[in-house]
């Protein structure tokens, strides 16, 4: 039995975006409980040379939409990476989710064999679509979700493994 590129990407990205949305819910609840300025958490980071929380959201969104565009040839939306509030992060997630909802499974019919070329550290790398999805896009996507999780946890937001894994059923 084969698993389609659609099934390995769109639902996976949708689930990850839902996890990121849940993190925003928990961030808002934490800010209310602790009387913390909620939007100040958008700039939180683990280390000075790492992206802040907003950057993690931007990379999760970008990875989802760019991956789909690269493996299908569908034109993807472009966002400015200017989010500074929880509301703006929610809007970005919603726009990304809306884009994913427009991509039909039929667009993935030749996705695994499509050549994807990306720039990594100034070097151009080409690979098959399935290789790109499985060895670069999905690990990158989950890296930024896990980093957002760590930033929030470090800031005191009560996020745990069940939040990271998302809902089942």
Per the CB < 8 A criterion, the answer to whether 65 and 96 are in contact is yes
DSSP line for 64-122? HHHHHHHHH------------SHHHHHHHHHHHHHHHHH--GGGGTTGGGSEEEEEETT
Per the listing, tokens 């689930």 go with 15
Burial class (CB in 10 A: 0-12, 13-18, 19+), 33: exposed
Cα Rg for the chain, rounded, in angstroms?
Answer: 16
pLDDT tens string for the chain (169 positions)?
Answer: 688 999 999 999 999 999 999 999 999 999 999 999 999 899 999 999 999 999 999 999 999 999 999 999 999 999 999 999 999 999 999 999 999 999 999 999 999 999 999 998 899 999 999 999 999 999 999 999 999 999 999 999 999 999 999 877 6
How far apart are the C-alpha atoms of 132 and 87, rounded to whole Å?
A: 32
How far apart are the C-alpha atoms of 150 and 161, rounded to whole Å?
A: 11
């Amino acid at each position: 039995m084969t698993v389609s590129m659609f099934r390995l990407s769109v639902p996976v990205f949708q689930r990850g975006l839902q996890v990121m949305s849940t993190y925003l819910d928990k961030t808002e609840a934490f800010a209310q409980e602790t009387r913390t300025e909620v939007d100040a958490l958008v700039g939180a980071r683990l280390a000075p040379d790492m992206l802040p929380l907003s950057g993690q959201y931007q990379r999760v969104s970008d990875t989802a939409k760019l991956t789909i565009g690269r493996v299908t040839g569908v034109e993807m939306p472009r966002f400015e990476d200017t989010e500074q509030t929880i509301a703006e992060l929610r809007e970005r997630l919603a726009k990304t989710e809306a884009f994913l909802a427009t991509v039909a499974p039929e667009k993935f019919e030749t996705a695994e064999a499509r050549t994807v070329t990306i720039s990594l550290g100034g070097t151009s790398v080409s690979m098959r679509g399935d290789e790109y999805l499985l060895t670069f896009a999905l690990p990158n996507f989950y890296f930024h979700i896990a980093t957002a999780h760590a930033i929030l946890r470090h800031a005191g937001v009560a996020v745990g493994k069940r939040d990271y894994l998302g809902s089942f059923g």
